[in-house]
Structures are given as C-alpha cells and as structure tokens.
Amino acid sequence: MVEATNFIEQIINEELESGKVNSVYTRFPPEPNGYLHIGHAKSLCINFGIKEKYNGKCNLFLDDTNPSKEKTEFVNAIKEDIKWLGFSWDKETYASDFFPKIYELAIELIKKGKAFVCDMNAEEISQNRGTLTQAGKESPWRNRSVEENLDLFTRMKNGEFADGEKCLRAKIDMASPNINMRDPVIYRILRQTHHRTGDEWCIYPMYDYAHPICDYMQGVTHSICTLEFEDHRPLYDWVGIELGFAPKPRQIEFARLNVTNLVMSKRYLKKLVEDGSVEGWDDPRMPTLTGLRNRGIPAQALKDFCGRIGVSKANSEVQISYFEACVREYLNANAERAMAVLNPLKVTITNYPENQTESLDFEINPSDELKRTRKIDFSKTIYIDQDDFSLAPPPKYFRLKKDGYVRLKSAYIIKCDDVLFNEDGSVKELLCSYVPESKSGSDTSGIKTKGVIQWVNAEKGKDVEIRQYGYLLNDEEYAGQDFSERMNKQSVKIFNGKVEPYVLDNADDRPYQLMRTGYFKLLNVKDKTILSEIVSLKDNFNVKK
Ligand code: ATP
Ligand code: MG
C-alpha cells in the first residue's frame, strides 16, 4: 500500500484495503469556456497525481453541458496546458458523448416516477424553492402521470416547445433542508448550437444530473471536485442510487487554491484580455497556465508548488511569495548565469590597452557539479548599472563610488577615478582604472572589496528591452474590494538595457539568471525580442523542505 499524503489518498487507501474498490480511476473535468489557471493546476496535480501514484487511470473529461459558452479553441488550449504539465490522460471524453445515454436515463427516472415535466419557468421555480428556513412549494405539475411525462419529455426533445417553456425536474423533496434537493431541474430546453453536437439537441441536461452519469459511464471511482460542490453531493448520490449505479462513484471535495495578488476568476481574466489591460491570455502577468508557460515558469516548479501546499478541506489563501520561492528554488539550481544591465552607465578603463580583448572564464552555474564555464570578453569600455554607482553613497555602500573599489564579476577590481557629467548634472560616464593583478581566480592584488557587480562589454554587448513585472492585483490590504479597484496600474516596467551577446545568440526558451537582477527568458512581443522576467531574485520567503 502506498503512503497517503492527504485525506483523499487516505480515503482511497481505506477503500482499497476494505475491497470497496480494487483500482482507481479519476478525471479532470474542466468546462471548455476559458483558459486553465494556476488553480486548475492544483486539481490537475491531484487527479493525475492519484493516477500515477496508484497506477490507475485518469480521463480528460470536458464538461460541455452548457453550449452557449463553450468553444473548441478552449478545448485545444486546455489540452496543450495539460501536456505542458507533463500529464497524459487515458481517454478524452465529453459530456456530449453521453447525451444519448443521459437522455435514456432521464426516461428511466420518469418511468420510476422520479422525474416530471414542469411548466413553470425559471423565475417561478426559483420563487417557489423556499429558503434555508422555509420549505419550498410543490409544483402543480409534480403529480403528472408517467405516460403524460413521457409524452411531454419526448415532445420537449422533438422541439415542440419554446426555450424555457417546460423543463424536466427530479422528484425528490421540496422540504429538504438542502435546497439542491428540492426537485432540481435536470433538463432544460435551449436552442443553441453546440460546439460538438451542432443542432442535434434542443434540450440539454443540467450539470448536477449529467455529471454522476458521465462519471459512472467512464468507470470513474473517485470524482474529485472543489468544496463548493459539497452541497451538491446528496444530489450526485441520489442520481447514482436511483439509477442503480454499481459501483457508484464517490465524490470527494477539497478546498480550491487561492493565491494573494492573483486574479483567479475566469470571468475577470476574460475581462482583462478584452479591455486590453494585458496583451492576451498568454500575457506573462496572467495566472493562466499559458501565461505562466509564456512567462517561463518551469512546469516542474509549478508541480512542486502544488505538492507542497497540500490538499485540505479548509479554504485558505496561499502567499504569492511562496509560489515565487518554489520557482526561484528550481531556477537557482537550473538556470544559467549571464550578465545584463537595466540602466547602462558607461565605464572607460583608462589604463586598459586600446583594442585589446581578453577572454575570461565565467561560471555557468555555481551549483554545477562539473564546474563548467564559458568565455566572456573584457575590454576597455564596459557598461555597469547606474544603480551600482553612487555620488553620495550611504554608509556601508559596497558598490562603486568615487575613489572606491569594486570587483567586476569574473574579471578585475576597478577603482573610480573620475566622473563625467551631462549638461543636466546627471552622471554621463565613469573613468576608472583596473588592477591587473586582481583577475578573478588568480588575484594577488591584496585589495579587499566587499562588492561584486555585473557588467557588459560595450563593444560586444547588445541593446535589449528588459521587462520586469509587478502583480496584476495590489496587496491583500485591498482584499475584499472589487477586482477593478485592486488593479495595479504599473504591473510592467520597461528598461532599455544591455546584455551579453551570448543570451541573444541562444534564443530558445531557456531561463537565465541575470546576475543580481532576476530570472529572465527571451520572449517575442510583436516581432521584437525582449528579455522578460520570470521571477525576481529577492527572496522574502523561506521554502520549508
Ligand atoms: P467556472 O465555474 O468559471 O467554469 P471553474 O474554475 O469552476 O470555473 P472548471 O473548468 O469547472 O472551472 O474547473 C475544472 C476543475 O478544476 C474543477 O474540478 C474545479 O473544481 C477545479 N478548479 C477550478 N478552480 C480551482 C482552484 N482555484 N483550485 C483548485 N481547483 C480548481
Ligand atoms: Mg466550474
């Protein structure tokens, strides 16, 4: 028996032990009405995680019972996202695959006296549903004969009635303390072209009724969903019991993932795309899986995160910094180092020979066991970051200041001898001298420097646009306010920087740690190649191992 790491696995273990089930079958059930987001990753990790752990099966089940919102574009995007996470489904199934069966079983319920055609419209039904403290009122159509119900339901299917004129309801209990059990609607008339069945049907089953049937037909043993479906479980079970499902699939609910500073409602994400607040569903600031992928978040880091936050029944909010710490930890071990500057400041090394270029060793990644290096070119003119020089340095300023020393990463110690100014008083250029005996790896200069800064060779370095991102939503202190009031209006910062040519020459999807700046990858935005931030370097959260 495998060791259970959460309450769902505990349930599965108990059922396997008692012989209630002898294999495990789950499904991931998105509605194809939008793009998957980081919350769905949690559900994916749970469902496919169980498949992998128990050597079971997991289907991709597309819940397409609501034709007005569903599109094939979304189906394709969902598939791509799941593949990116490295999961593979056993079967690709659709609720619409089962429409004939779902219809047939509705007839069975009618024959058992467990469903009836109701002439009330949606508004009347909701008015008669009662409240938490008050029982609902029975429909005047509740006691129609089986024959009449069969006839009317067939005519509903044949298109004899207008949309909403009639519906099919389960006959359960209008006095049930659970409002979902008060004769819920299980079929409605709706003339909408379905993305797969076209105009074949003008009646569509409701999710609560269709879902247990689809689970059962696929052989699903554990139907895992989020907490808001807890109150729907009695109806899920009612359908299974009335239709004699054996073995009946078991619904288990867990708490959905919420992350601070992230918008996670499909409806709102859609609005951001439509009003142009972001560049698309795959904008690197979006918490969609396509956005995270485009941003350069490694799939493995996202899976590590989902594993670490655990699975529980209590709703909570996870700090975005925890997610970032998982990403950073992965990238720290896996990303190559490189050098770039966001705000270039020219430095001329006055005592370095004109027209000389020196090839220096640069460590690819300090945690690389093979200690591999690559070559970087050093010469007389370089750029450093404006932030690494100060005219009025505070105490303990270890970067460059007038008459001070600093080490250039993997190169030499330099001293700032003179500062040239622009007409407006801003710093134009630094005149420095280098210490020839201070070469990294063979330093005999005896000069102690506390600061090490990155630099880019002026002649070989390339111009590049560098983007850093903030969150789409302002901090938790605004929590509870409407999303539109929490929007961060400055979620992108753009720099005209310089980068070593190596980064642009290796224009694939690989992540880089731009030293002392953050993790970045190359991204094409409107035919322009930019360096786009994956996650900043600042670590303000410790990952517990
Ligand atoms: P909507 O209701 O707007 O369609 P949804 O988020 O419920 O959005 P589904 O496509 O129905 O989207 O979700 C597919 C599966 O992912 C469901 O099992 C759902 O419970 C789960 N899921 C959705 N959001 C989260 C979340 N934030 N955390 C964990 N699981 C989630
Ligand atoms: Mg949903």
Give the model confidence (pLDDT) of 287-305 as tens digits: 999 999 999 999 999 999 9
Q: How confident is the model at residue 531 (pLDDT cuts 50, 70, 90)?
A: very high
Ligand 1 contacts (CB < 6 A) are 29-31, 33, 39-40, 42-43, 225-226, 256-257, 264, 266
Residue with tokens 């655990």: 310
Check whether 268 has a pLDDT greater than 90. no
Domain span(s) for CATH 2.40.240.10 in the chain = 338-458
Contact 235, 207 (CB under 8 A): no
Contact 139, 169 (CB under 8 A): yes
CA distance 85 to 47: 13
**Distance of alpha carbon 274 from the chain centroid:** 19
CA angle 182, 186, 189 (to 5 degrees): 125
Q: What does DSSP assign to residue 538?
A: -
**Burial (CB count <10 Å: 0-12, 13-18, 19+), residue 542:** exposed
Ligand 1 atom index nearest CA of 264: 27
Determine whether 266 is an active site residue.
yes
CATH classification code of 338-458: 2.40.240.10
Q: Which residues contact 25 (CB under 8 A, 6 or more apart)?
A: 56, 57, 58, 59, 218, 219, 220, 221, 222
Mutate to test the pocket of ligand 1, among 8, 27, 43, 75 (most ligand atoms within 8 A of CB): 43
Question: Which pLDDT belongs to residue 126?
Answer: 96
State the chain's mean pLDDT as an integer.
94
CA distance 129 to 183: 9
CA distance 47 to 207: 20
Check whether 542 has a pLDDT greater than 70. no
List the beta bridge partners of residue 418.
431
Please give the share of the chain, as a percent, with pLDDT higher than 70.
98
Question: Which pLDDT belongs to residue 541?
Answer: 45
**Distance of alpha carbon 185 from the chain centroid:** 34
> For the ranges 149-158, 192-201, 271-280, which has the lowest average pLDDT?
271-280
Choosing from 101, 256, 346, 409, which is the catalytic residue?
256
CA angle 524, 265, 469 (to 5 degrees): 35
Stretch (H or E) spanning 330: helix 320-334
Give the ligand at the shortest distance from the Cα of 223: 1
The backbone torsions φ and ψ at residue 397, rounded to the nearest 5 degrees and listed phi first, read: -90, 115
Q: How confident is the model at residue 477 (pLDDT cuts 50, 70, 90)?
A: low
CA distance 55 to 58: 10
Check whether 480 has a pLDDT greater than 70. no
Contact 339, 454 (CB under 8 A): yes
Determine whether 439 is an active site residue.
no
Give the ligand at the shortest distance from the Cα of 315: 1
CA distance 345 to 496: 12
Residue nearest to atom 3 of ligand 1 (CA): 266
Give the ligand at the shortest distance from the Cα of 42: 1
Residue nearest to atom 26 of ligand 1 (CA): 39
Ligand 2 centroid–CA 126 distance in Å is 21
CA angle 54, 59, 61 (to 5 degrees): 145
CA distance 150 to 165: 16
Residue nearest to atom 8 of ligand 1 (CA): 266
Contact 220, 251 (CB under 8 A): no
Contact 530, 464 (CB under 8 A): yes
The three-state DSSP-derived secondary structure of 209-256 is: HHHHHHHHHHCCCEEEEEHHHHHHHHHHHHHHHHCCCCCCCEEEEECC
**CATH class, range 7-258:** alpha beta
Question: Which pLDDT belongs to residue 533?
Answer: 97
* For range 323-347, the mean pLDDT: 97
Question: Which pLDDT belongs to residue 544?
Answer: 39
**Burial (CB count <10 Å: 0-12, 13-18, 19+), residue 257:** buried
Contact 1, 17 (CB under 8 A): yes
Domain span(s) for CATH 3.40.50.620 in the chain = 7-258
* pTM metric for this prediction: 0.92
Choosing from 169, 266, 293, 486, which is the catalytic residue?
266
Ligand 1 atom index nearest CA of 267: 3
Residue nearest to atom 22 of ligand 1 (CA): 40
Residue with tokens 């300023």: 397
Question: Which pLDDT belongs to residue 481?
Answer: 66
CB atoms within 10 A of CB 509: 10
Choosing from 15, 31, 279, 465, which is the catalytic residue?
31
CA distance 363 to 394: 31
**Of 285, 337, 386, residue with least CA distance to 519:** 337
The phi-psi region of residue 86 (left if phi > 0; otherwise alpha if psi is between -120 and 50; otherwise beta) is: left
Determine whether 31 is an active site residue.
yes
Ligand 1 centroid–CA 218 distance in Å is 20
Domain 260-334+464-499+506-536 has CATH 1.10.1160.10: yes
